[in-house]
Amino acid sequence: MATAQLKRFRVLVGGYSTSAFGSYLNMVALNLFVYETTGSALATGLFMVVRMASGFVAGLLGGVVAARLPRKAVMITCDLVQAGVLTIFAVVPAGAQSHLLPVVAVALGLLNTTSSVLLRSSVPELVGAEHRLRANGLLVTGRAVAMAIGFATGGILVSTVGYRAAFLVDAGTFVVSATTLAVLALNFSPAAAPEHATGFRARRLATTAALLAAPAVLAIVAIRAVDAFGSASHQVGIPIYATMLQPGSPANFVGNFWAAWAVGLFTAHHLMTRLYHSGRRRDEWAFAVGTAVMSGAFIVAFAGIAQPWVLAVAMVAGLADGFTEITYTTRIQAEPDPARGYFFGLTAMAENASLGVGMFAAAGLLEVWHPFGVAGAMHGLVIVLTLGYLVFAVVRRSRAEDRQSVSSGS
Protein backbone atom coordinates (compact mmCIF):
# COMPACT_ATOMS: atom_id res chain seq x y z
CA MET A 1 0.00 0.00 0.00
CA ALA A 2 2.81 2.39 0.91
CA THR A 3 4.50 1.70 -2.43
CA ALA A 4 1.29 2.50 -4.35
CA GLN A 5 0.84 5.69 -2.32
CA LEU A 6 4.38 6.82 -3.11
CA LYS A 7 3.92 6.05 -6.82
CA ARG A 8 0.79 8.17 -6.96
CA PHE A 9 2.52 10.87 -4.97
CA ARG A 10 5.40 10.94 -7.48
CA VAL A 11 2.85 11.55 -10.24
CA LEU A 12 1.35 14.33 -8.10
CA VAL A 13 4.83 15.81 -7.70
CA GLY A 14 5.14 15.77 -11.48
CA GLY A 15 1.99 17.87 -11.85
CA TYR A 16 3.04 20.15 -8.99
CA SER A 17 6.48 20.59 -10.55
CA THR A 18 4.93 21.48 -13.90
CA SER A 19 2.93 24.33 -12.37
CA ALA A 20 5.99 25.33 -10.32
CA PHE A 21 7.99 25.52 -13.56
CA GLY A 22 5.43 27.95 -14.93
CA SER A 23 5.45 29.98 -11.73
CA TYR A 24 9.22 30.40 -11.72
CA LEU A 25 9.25 31.22 -15.41
CA ASN A 26 6.61 33.79 -14.56
CA MET A 27 8.71 35.26 -11.74
CA VAL A 28 11.33 36.18 -14.32
CA ALA A 29 8.77 37.45 -16.83
CA LEU A 30 6.25 39.13 -14.55
CA ASN A 31 8.67 40.93 -12.23
CA LEU A 32 10.69 42.24 -15.15
CA PHE A 33 7.46 43.18 -16.96
CA VAL A 34 6.32 45.27 -14.01
CA TYR A 35 9.71 46.97 -13.66
CA GLU A 36 10.03 47.69 -17.39
CA THR A 37 6.43 48.91 -17.63
CA THR A 38 6.63 51.25 -14.62
CA GLY A 39 10.37 52.00 -14.51
CA SER A 40 10.10 52.16 -10.72
CA ALA A 41 11.56 49.95 -8.01
CA LEU A 42 8.81 51.21 -5.70
CA ALA A 43 6.07 50.11 -8.10
CA THR A 44 7.74 46.70 -8.49
CA GLY A 45 7.83 46.32 -4.74
CA LEU A 46 4.20 47.40 -4.37
CA PHE A 47 3.12 44.78 -6.90
CA MET A 48 4.90 42.14 -4.81
CA VAL A 49 3.36 43.54 -1.63
CA VAL A 50 -0.15 43.09 -3.08
CA ARG A 51 0.73 39.53 -3.98
CA MET A 52 2.08 38.85 -0.50
CA ALA A 53 -0.91 40.49 1.17
CA SER A 54 -3.16 38.12 -0.77
CA GLY A 55 -1.02 35.24 0.44
CA PHE A 56 -1.50 36.50 3.99
CA VAL A 57 -5.27 36.31 3.57
CA ALA A 58 -4.91 32.79 2.17
CA GLY A 59 -2.85 31.79 5.21
CA LEU A 60 -5.48 33.28 7.50
CA LEU A 61 -8.15 31.11 5.91
CA GLY A 62 -5.97 28.15 4.93
CA GLY A 63 -6.56 26.13 8.08
CA VAL A 64 -10.33 26.57 7.78
CA VAL A 65 -10.23 25.50 4.13
CA ALA A 66 -8.09 22.46 4.96
CA ALA A 67 -10.43 21.39 7.77
CA ARG A 68 -13.82 22.08 6.22
CA LEU A 69 -13.60 21.84 2.41
CA PRO A 70 -12.58 18.99 0.06
CA ARG A 71 -8.89 19.66 -0.46
CA LYS A 72 -8.58 18.04 -3.87
CA ALA A 73 -11.46 20.03 -5.36
CA VAL A 74 -10.14 23.29 -3.91
CA MET A 75 -6.64 22.67 -5.31
CA ILE A 76 -8.03 21.91 -8.78
CA THR A 77 -10.11 25.10 -8.65
CA CYS A 78 -7.06 27.14 -7.62
CA ASP A 79 -5.08 25.82 -10.60
CA LEU A 80 -7.86 26.46 -13.12
CA VAL A 81 -8.57 29.99 -11.91
CA GLN A 82 -4.88 30.91 -12.09
CA ALA A 83 -4.75 29.50 -15.62
CA GLY A 84 -7.75 31.61 -16.60
CA VAL A 85 -6.38 34.82 -15.10
CA LEU A 86 -2.99 34.41 -16.78
CA THR A 87 -4.59 33.61 -20.13
CA ILE A 88 -6.73 36.75 -20.01
CA PHE A 89 -3.71 38.82 -18.94
CA ALA A 90 -1.69 37.47 -21.87
CA VAL A 91 -4.26 38.17 -24.59
CA VAL A 92 -5.67 41.59 -23.61
CA PRO A 93 -4.29 44.72 -25.34
CA ALA A 94 -1.10 46.22 -23.93
CA GLY A 95 -2.91 49.22 -22.47
CA ALA A 96 -5.21 47.00 -20.42
CA GLN A 97 -2.44 44.83 -19.01
CA SER A 98 -1.26 47.48 -16.56
CA HIS A 99 -4.80 47.76 -15.18
CA LEU A 100 -4.97 43.99 -14.69
CA LEU A 101 -1.72 43.78 -12.70
CA PRO A 102 -3.50 44.07 -9.30
CA VAL A 103 -5.88 41.26 -10.34
CA VAL A 104 -2.95 39.04 -11.33
CA ALA A 105 -1.15 39.80 -8.07
CA VAL A 106 -4.20 38.96 -5.95
CA ALA A 107 -5.04 35.77 -7.86
CA LEU A 108 -1.52 34.36 -7.79
CA GLY A 109 -0.89 35.27 -4.15
CA LEU A 110 -4.23 34.02 -2.85
CA LEU A 111 -4.49 30.79 -4.82
CA ASN A 112 -0.84 29.73 -4.74
CA THR A 113 -0.71 30.01 -0.97
CA THR A 114 -3.99 28.16 -0.55
CA SER A 115 -2.73 25.26 -2.67
CA SER A 116 0.56 25.19 -0.76
CA VAL A 117 -1.17 24.99 2.64
CA LEU A 118 -3.47 22.20 1.45
CA LEU A 119 -0.70 20.15 -0.13
CA ARG A 120 1.74 20.41 2.76
CA SER A 121 -0.88 19.62 5.38
CA SER A 122 -2.05 16.57 3.38
CA VAL A 123 1.34 14.85 2.93
CA PRO A 124 0.97 12.45 5.92
CA GLU A 125 -2.39 11.26 4.56
CA LEU A 126 -1.09 10.98 1.01
CA VAL A 127 2.02 8.87 1.76
CA GLY A 128 1.80 7.84 5.41
CA ALA A 129 3.45 9.56 8.37
CA GLU A 130 6.57 7.39 8.11
CA HIS A 131 7.29 8.64 4.56
CA ARG A 132 7.01 12.36 5.29
CA LEU A 133 10.72 13.05 4.88
CA ARG A 134 10.89 11.26 1.52
CA ALA A 135 7.74 13.00 0.28
CA ASN A 136 8.99 16.43 1.34
CA GLY A 137 12.30 15.68 -0.33
CA LEU A 138 10.46 14.80 -3.54
CA LEU A 139 8.52 18.07 -3.39
CA VAL A 140 11.69 20.09 -2.83
CA THR A 141 13.50 18.18 -5.58
CA GLY A 142 10.60 18.71 -7.98
CA ARG A 143 10.55 22.39 -7.11
CA ALA A 144 14.32 22.59 -7.69
CA VAL A 145 14.09 21.01 -11.14
CA ALA A 146 11.13 23.23 -12.01
CA MET A 147 13.00 26.28 -10.78
CA ALA A 148 16.16 25.48 -12.71
CA ILE A 149 14.26 24.95 -15.96
CA GLY A 150 11.81 27.79 -15.36
CA PHE A 151 14.41 30.41 -14.54
CA ALA A 152 16.78 29.21 -17.26
CA THR A 153 14.09 29.35 -19.94
CA GLY A 154 12.38 32.47 -18.60
CA GLY A 155 15.05 34.78 -19.94
CA ILE A 156 15.14 32.94 -23.26
CA LEU A 157 11.37 33.10 -23.74
CA VAL A 158 11.15 36.77 -22.84
CA SER A 159 14.08 37.63 -25.12
CA THR A 160 12.87 35.59 -28.11
CA VAL A 161 9.06 35.53 -28.11
CA GLY A 162 8.12 38.13 -25.52
CA TYR A 163 6.13 38.37 -22.31
CA ARG A 164 2.78 37.21 -23.66
CA ALA A 165 4.13 33.80 -24.65
CA ALA A 166 5.66 33.36 -21.19
CA PHE A 167 2.32 34.12 -19.52
CA LEU A 168 0.50 31.64 -21.79
CA VAL A 169 3.04 28.91 -21.03
CA ASP A 170 2.49 29.55 -17.33
CA ALA A 171 -1.28 29.26 -17.78
CA GLY A 172 -0.81 25.92 -19.54
CA THR A 173 1.24 24.51 -16.67
CA PHE A 174 -1.62 25.15 -14.24
CA VAL A 175 -3.96 23.24 -16.55
CA VAL A 176 -1.54 20.29 -16.46
CA SER A 177 -1.44 20.43 -12.66
CA ALA A 178 -5.24 20.53 -12.39
CA THR A 179 -5.56 17.58 -14.79
CA THR A 180 -3.07 15.54 -12.76
CA LEU A 181 -5.03 16.17 -9.58
CA ALA A 182 -8.30 15.30 -11.29
CA VAL A 183 -7.21 11.90 -12.65
CA LEU A 184 -5.24 10.64 -9.64
CA ALA A 185 -6.89 8.60 -6.88
CA LEU A 186 -5.46 10.66 -4.03
CA ASN A 187 -6.19 9.91 -0.37
CA PHE A 188 -6.64 13.44 0.94
CA SER A 189 -8.01 13.56 4.47
CA PRO A 190 -11.77 14.18 4.43
CA ALA A 191 -13.11 17.59 5.35
CA ALA A 192 -14.80 17.91 8.70
CA ALA A 193 -18.59 17.87 8.64
CA PRO A 194 -19.94 21.42 8.87
CA GLU A 195 -22.17 20.61 11.81
CA HIS A 196 -19.20 19.49 13.88
CA ALA A 197 -16.96 22.39 12.92
CA THR A 198 -16.35 24.96 15.63
CA GLY A 199 -16.31 28.68 14.99
CA PHE A 200 -13.45 30.38 13.22
CA ARG A 201 -12.38 32.39 16.26
CA ALA A 202 -12.46 29.36 18.56
CA ARG A 203 -10.34 27.37 16.11
CA ARG A 204 -7.88 30.22 15.77
CA LEU A 205 -7.54 30.61 19.54
CA ALA A 206 -7.11 26.86 19.99
CA THR A 207 -4.44 26.74 17.30
CA THR A 208 -2.58 29.71 18.80
CA ALA A 209 -2.64 28.02 22.21
CA ALA A 210 -1.29 24.81 20.67
CA LEU A 211 1.44 26.78 18.93
CA LEU A 212 2.48 28.45 22.17
CA ALA A 213 2.56 25.02 23.82
CA ALA A 214 4.96 23.72 21.16
CA PRO A 215 8.12 25.87 21.51
CA ALA A 216 9.98 24.05 18.71
CA VAL A 217 7.17 24.79 16.25
CA LEU A 218 6.86 28.35 17.52
CA ALA A 219 10.59 28.89 17.01
CA ILE A 220 10.43 27.63 13.43
CA VAL A 221 7.42 29.85 12.64
CA ALA A 222 9.19 32.91 14.11
CA ILE A 223 12.41 32.22 12.21
CA ARG A 224 10.40 31.66 9.04
CA ALA A 225 8.83 35.10 9.46
CA VAL A 226 12.20 36.80 10.05
CA ASP A 227 13.67 35.03 7.04
CA ALA A 228 10.77 36.20 4.84
CA PHE A 229 11.46 39.82 5.83
CA GLY A 230 15.10 39.55 4.81
CA SER A 231 14.26 37.68 1.62
CA ALA A 232 12.33 40.70 0.38
CA SER A 233 15.64 42.47 -0.25
CA HIS A 234 16.70 39.97 -2.91
CA GLN A 235 13.20 39.36 -4.29
CA VAL A 236 12.91 43.05 -5.14
CA GLY A 237 16.62 43.67 -5.63
CA ILE A 238 17.61 40.97 -8.12
CA PRO A 239 15.69 42.37 -11.13
CA ILE A 240 17.11 45.82 -10.37
CA TYR A 241 20.65 44.48 -9.83
CA ALA A 242 20.37 42.50 -13.09
CA THR A 243 19.33 45.64 -14.96
CA MET A 244 22.35 47.49 -13.54
CA LEU A 245 24.80 44.74 -14.51
CA GLN A 246 23.31 43.64 -17.85
CA PRO A 247 21.00 46.40 -19.12
CA GLY A 248 20.74 44.70 -22.51
CA SER A 249 19.63 41.30 -21.16
CA PRO A 250 18.64 41.44 -17.48
CA ALA A 251 16.34 38.42 -17.87
CA ASN A 252 19.34 36.21 -18.67
CA PHE A 253 21.12 37.22 -15.47
CA VAL A 254 17.98 36.67 -13.39
CA GLY A 255 17.40 33.28 -15.00
CA ASN A 256 20.98 32.12 -14.48
CA PHE A 257 21.00 33.29 -10.88
CA TRP A 258 17.85 31.40 -9.93
CA ALA A 259 18.85 28.34 -11.95
CA ALA A 260 22.08 28.12 -9.92
CA TRP A 261 20.04 28.59 -6.76
CA ALA A 262 17.83 25.69 -7.84
CA VAL A 263 20.86 23.41 -8.24
CA GLY A 264 21.64 23.98 -4.57
CA LEU A 265 18.01 23.37 -3.68
CA PHE A 266 18.12 20.05 -5.57
CA THR A 267 21.15 18.93 -3.53
CA ALA A 268 19.46 19.64 -0.19
CA HIS A 269 17.27 16.50 -0.26
CA HIS A 270 20.29 14.19 -0.28
CA LEU A 271 21.92 16.09 2.57
CA MET A 272 18.78 16.00 4.68
CA THR A 273 18.31 12.27 4.10
CA ARG A 274 21.81 11.59 5.41
CA LEU A 275 21.32 13.78 8.48
CA TYR A 276 17.96 12.28 9.38
CA HIS A 277 19.17 8.73 8.92
CA SER A 278 22.15 9.48 11.16
CA GLY A 279 19.72 10.41 13.94
CA ARG A 280 21.00 13.98 14.32
CA ARG A 281 17.70 15.81 14.79
CA ARG A 282 17.54 19.36 16.09
CA ASP A 283 14.91 20.77 13.77
CA GLU A 284 14.70 24.32 15.04
CA TRP A 285 18.50 24.55 15.44
CA ALA A 286 19.08 23.31 11.91
CA PHE A 287 16.49 25.76 10.66
CA ALA A 288 18.24 28.67 12.37
CA VAL A 289 21.67 27.74 11.01
CA GLY A 290 20.32 27.20 7.50
CA THR A 291 18.54 30.55 7.58
CA ALA A 292 21.69 32.38 8.65
CA VAL A 293 23.78 30.69 5.94
CA MET A 294 21.20 31.53 3.29
CA SER A 295 21.08 35.20 4.33
CA GLY A 296 24.87 35.44 4.34
CA ALA A 297 25.02 33.99 0.84
CA PHE A 298 22.52 36.52 -0.51
CA ILE A 299 24.51 39.40 0.95
CA VAL A 300 27.65 38.17 -0.83
CA ALA A 301 25.71 37.75 -4.10
CA PHE A 302 25.12 41.52 -4.26
CA ALA A 303 28.71 42.43 -3.40
CA GLY A 304 29.81 43.04 -6.99
CA ILE A 305 31.79 39.80 -7.38
CA ALA A 306 32.36 38.14 -10.75
CA GLN A 307 29.36 36.34 -12.21
CA PRO A 308 30.80 32.79 -11.85
CA TRP A 309 31.19 33.44 -8.11
CA VAL A 310 27.70 34.92 -7.96
CA LEU A 311 26.34 31.65 -9.34
CA ALA A 312 28.38 29.63 -6.82
CA VAL A 313 27.03 31.74 -3.97
CA ALA A 314 23.50 31.33 -5.34
CA MET A 315 23.98 27.55 -5.17
CA VAL A 316 24.94 27.83 -1.49
CA ALA A 317 21.83 29.92 -0.85
CA GLY A 318 19.68 27.31 -2.59
CA LEU A 319 21.22 24.47 -0.59
CA ALA A 320 20.49 26.28 2.67
CA ASP A 321 16.95 27.09 1.55
CA GLY A 322 16.18 23.47 0.65
CA PHE A 323 17.64 22.36 3.97
CA THR A 324 15.38 24.69 5.92
CA GLU A 325 12.32 23.93 3.75
CA ILE A 326 12.49 20.17 4.39
CA THR A 327 13.19 20.69 8.10
CA TYR A 328 10.25 23.05 8.46
CA THR A 329 7.67 20.99 6.61
CA THR A 330 8.66 17.66 8.16
CA ARG A 331 8.47 19.09 11.68
CA ILE A 332 5.08 20.75 11.21
CA GLN A 333 3.69 17.60 9.60
CA ALA A 334 4.43 15.72 12.82
CA GLU A 335 1.52 17.59 14.39
CA PRO A 336 -1.97 15.99 14.25
CA ASP A 337 -4.64 17.01 11.76
CA PRO A 338 -6.51 19.44 11.70
CA ALA A 339 -4.09 21.46 13.85
CA ARG A 340 -1.43 20.78 11.21
CA GLY A 341 -3.40 22.70 8.61
CA TYR A 342 -3.79 25.65 10.96
CA PHE A 343 -0.06 25.64 11.73
CA PHE A 344 0.76 25.77 8.02
CA GLY A 345 -1.83 28.52 7.61
CA LEU A 346 -0.35 30.54 10.46
CA THR A 347 3.13 30.08 9.04
CA ALA A 348 1.91 31.27 5.64
CA MET A 349 0.39 34.32 7.33
CA ALA A 350 3.67 35.10 9.10
CA GLU A 351 5.70 34.61 5.92
CA ASN A 352 3.49 36.72 3.72
CA ALA A 353 3.06 39.50 6.27
CA SER A 354 6.83 39.70 6.86
CA LEU A 355 7.62 39.44 3.17
CA GLY A 356 5.05 42.12 2.36
CA VAL A 357 6.48 44.52 4.95
CA GLY A 358 9.99 43.64 3.81
CA MET A 359 9.18 44.29 0.16
CA PHE A 360 7.68 47.66 0.98
CA ALA A 361 10.84 48.53 2.96
CA ALA A 362 13.18 47.13 0.31
CA ALA A 363 11.40 48.95 -2.51
CA GLY A 364 11.75 52.26 -0.70
CA LEU A 365 15.40 51.65 0.23
CA LEU A 366 16.30 50.63 -3.31
CA GLU A 367 15.21 54.04 -4.53
CA VAL A 368 18.17 55.55 -2.66
CA TRP A 369 20.56 52.66 -1.84
CA HIS A 370 22.54 50.17 -3.89
CA PRO A 371 21.10 46.60 -3.75
CA PHE A 372 24.16 45.45 -1.79
CA GLY A 373 23.42 47.91 1.01
CA VAL A 374 19.76 46.89 1.16
CA ALA A 375 20.61 43.17 1.22
CA GLY A 376 23.31 43.74 3.82
CA ALA A 377 20.95 45.61 6.13
CA MET A 378 17.93 43.33 5.83
CA HIS A 379 19.67 39.96 5.62
CA GLY A 380 22.12 41.14 8.27
CA LEU A 381 19.19 41.61 10.64
CA VAL A 382 18.11 38.03 9.88
CA ILE A 383 21.58 36.69 10.69
CA VAL A 384 21.75 38.58 13.99
CA LEU A 385 18.30 37.42 15.13
CA THR A 386 18.67 33.77 14.08
CA LEU A 387 22.13 33.38 15.58
CA GLY A 388 20.87 35.11 18.72
CA TYR A 389 18.09 32.53 18.95
CA LEU A 390 20.60 29.73 18.38
CA VAL A 391 22.81 30.94 21.24
CA PHE A 392 19.75 31.19 23.47
CA ALA A 393 18.64 27.66 22.54
CA VAL A 394 22.10 26.17 23.18
CA VAL A 395 22.39 27.90 26.55
CA ARG A 396 18.88 26.81 27.52
CA ARG A 397 19.59 23.20 26.57
CA SER A 398 22.91 23.24 28.41
CA ARG A 399 21.25 24.51 31.58
CA ALA A 400 18.51 21.89 31.29
CA GLU A 401 21.12 19.14 30.95
CA ASP A 402 23.02 20.53 33.96
CA ARG A 403 19.83 20.47 36.05
CA GLN A 404 19.12 16.92 34.92
CA SER A 405 22.66 15.86 35.87
CA VAL A 406 22.34 17.42 39.30
CA SER A 407 18.96 15.76 39.79
CA SER A 408 20.33 12.37 38.70
CA GLY A 409 23.36 12.75 40.94
CA SER A 410 21.26 13.51 43.97
Half-sphere exposure of 48 (CA within 13 A, CB side): 36
- In this prediction, residues 366-373 reach a mean pLDDT of 88
CATH for 2-190+199-397 is 1.20.1250.20
The 3-state DSSP class for residue 87 equals helix
pLDDT over threshold 90, residue 81: yes
Q: Which of 237, 214, 197, 164 is nearest to 335 (CA)?
A: 214
pLDDT over threshold 60, residue 83: yes
Handedness of CA 336, 340, 341, 343 (dihedral sign): positive
Query: Which one has a higher pLDDT value, 217 or 35?
Result: 35
Give the pLDDT score at 207. Answer: 58
Give the pLDDT score at 278. Answer: 44
- The domain spans of the chain are 2-190+199-397
pLDDT in tens, 386-406: 888 888 777 777 766 666 665
pTM of the complete model: 0.72
Query: Which one has a higher pLDDT value, 265 or 74?
Result: 74
Give the pLDDT score at 297. Answer: 94
The most confident of the ranges 31-35, 217-221, 402-406 is: 31-35
Average pLDDT taken over every residue of the chain: 79
* 8 Å CB contact between 174 and 306: no
pLDDT in tens, 166-183: 889 889 999 999 999 988
Q: Where are the alpha helices (DSSP H) in 246-282?
A: 250-277
